[in-house]
Amino acid sequence: MSTPRLTPTSYVVLGLVERCQPATPYDIKQVAELSTANFWSVPHTQLYTECARMAEAGLLDEDREDGGRRRRTYRLTVAGRAALEQWSSEPAEELYEHRDLGVLKLFLGGDPAALAEAQLALHEAKLAEFEETARLEMPAGMRLALESGIGHEKEFIRFWKRFGDKG
């Protein structure tokens, strides 16, 4: 069995299965919405297809119910764990894609003062969500990723306050 090309989505699936196993694609989708989707979005349909692809490659074990909805449940294999560990130990060699609708509107001539109120509300709400999540117990890597998100939200708040009445 040849190893398929692994993408960041592949590693999201492997990592979330490792954290939640046994896990259905629906379980993975739910956990992704609360965690990795805050910094790496993956369409939920892709999570389903990627689980099957990783199972076919021998990186996940698949269990399928005999009857009913024939739900699939996945566990990480030894090969899957090795692939995830190797990938996560390598340095990242590219920056993230910054996709922010407010910044795009600024770039295209939007009025900063008109955008600031809504942008501040969005970033303050996300910061509050992250700070609430930070009260939970979690593995060190998840905590560090969360701290990164908190820092980004604080910076966005600082930036947008320059243009609003709160400045």
Q: Is the pLDDT of residue 2 over 70?
A: no
Q: Which long-range contacts (CB under 8 A, 24 or more apart) does 123-131 make?
A: 123/153, 123/156, 123/157, 123/160, 124/153, 124/157, 126/153, 127/153, 127/154, 127/157, 130/38
Q: List pLDDT tens digits, range 111-162.
A: 999 999 999 999 999 999 999 999 999 889 889 999 999 999 999 999 999 9
Is the dihedral angle over the CA atoms 33, 37, 43, 48 positive or is it negative? negative
Higher per-residue pLDDT: 19 or 67: 19
Q: What pLDDT does 133 receive? A: 92
- CB-based contacts of 40, cutoff 8 Å, min separation 6: 8, 12
Q: What is the pLDDT of residues 90-111, one digit of tens each?
A: 988 887 777 788 988 888 889 9
Topology (CATH level 3) of domain 8-89: Arc Repressor Mutant, subunit A (1.10.10)
Domain range annotation of the chain: 8-89, 101-161
Q: Which of 10-14, 33-37, 59-63 comes out lowest in average pLDDT? A: 33-37
Q: What is the pLDDT, as a whole number, of residue 166?
A: 47
Question: 49 is written with which tokens?
Answer: 């297809």
Q: What is the pLDDT of residue 68?
A: 74
* Region 15-24 average pLDDT: 92
Share of the chain above pLDDT 70, in %: 96
